[in-house]
Amino acid sequence: MKATLVLGSLIVGAVSAYKATTTRYYDGQEGACGCGSSSGAFPWQLGIGNGVYTAAGSQALFDTAGASWCGAGCGKCYQLTSTGQAPCSSCGTGGAAGQSIIVMVTNLCPNNGNAQWCPVVGGTNQYGYSYHFDIMAQNEIFGDNVVVDFEPIACPGQAASDWGTCLCVGQQETDPTPVLGNDTGSTPPGSSPPATSSSPPSGGGQQTLYGQCGGAGWTGPTTCQAPGTCKVQNQWYSQCLP
């Protein structure tokens, strides 16, 4: 049954559900929504409880304007329901169909260095999907790299309370992320995402505060302008933080 999805002031067009690819990671870092401290992530990021997890969202879920810190999508929750299928025969085994979890976006999965899974805004990943969730978990949750149907929902009470402890609360960009188009994962598998470029910022080749400074495949600056220090957020993304 089709329904109109409402998230805050954003009204999303009538659709059954959107589709996304999923992976999982665990790095113990606070992430690009500031849910932690210099010593690492808040413990609840590994699992809020009652089937609620945290995740790094692809750019369209984190911030459609391209922000890499305190994106407008920070703190937003989604219900993910497994289709039971992996996006390709060689990139996962899938899992049982029909199982659902809730995730809250607390980090960014950038396209740079991770185009296989995390697309640019308006593009698709290597498997033809416009959205991706990298779920923070040490063990499989509902399968191996499963494709999911997802929809935005109100965060459960405990998740909303936990989000209130993050640095980015009240500091997000004004971009009304997420902007979910009518894509339901129908793009033919194997489509390549648009190419991206990384131009070093001004300042002698050093990255500006809150900019990217490392991660798998990163070819830009790896040192930060004062008072920033390059800190690892996950295997794909390091960021200049004070």
Active-site amino acid positions: 27, 134
Question: In this predicted structure, what is the pLDDT of residue 210?
Answer: 60
Instruction: For tokens 């990671």, name the residue.
Output: 25
Cβ(56)–Cβ(160) below 8 Å: no
Spell out the domain ranges in the chain.
18-164, 211-241
- When the candidates are 3.30.465.10, 3.20.20.70, 2.40.40.10, 3.40.50.2300, the CATH number that belongs to 18-164 is 2.40.40.10
Cβ(127)–Cβ(88) below 8 Å: yes
| Residue 39, Cβ density class (10 Å: 0-12 exposed, 13-18 middle, ≥19 buried) | exposed
Give the CA radius of gyration of the chain: 17
CA atoms of 177 and 155, how far apart (whole Å): 15
Question: In this predicted structure, what is the pLDDT of residue 191?
Answer: 31
Question: In this predicted structure, what is the pLDDT of residue 73?
Answer: 94
| pTM of the predicted model as reported, rounded to 2 decimal places | 0.69
Kind of pairing, strands 36-37 and 212-214?
Answer: unpaired
Question: In this predicted structure, what is the pLDDT of residue 29?
Answer: 86
| Residue 5, Cβ density class (10 Å: 0-12 exposed, 13-18 middle, ≥19 buried) | middle
Residue numbers of the chain with a pLDDT score lower than 50: 1-16, 175, 179, 182-204
Question: In this predicted structure, what is the pLDDT of residue 128?
Answer: 95
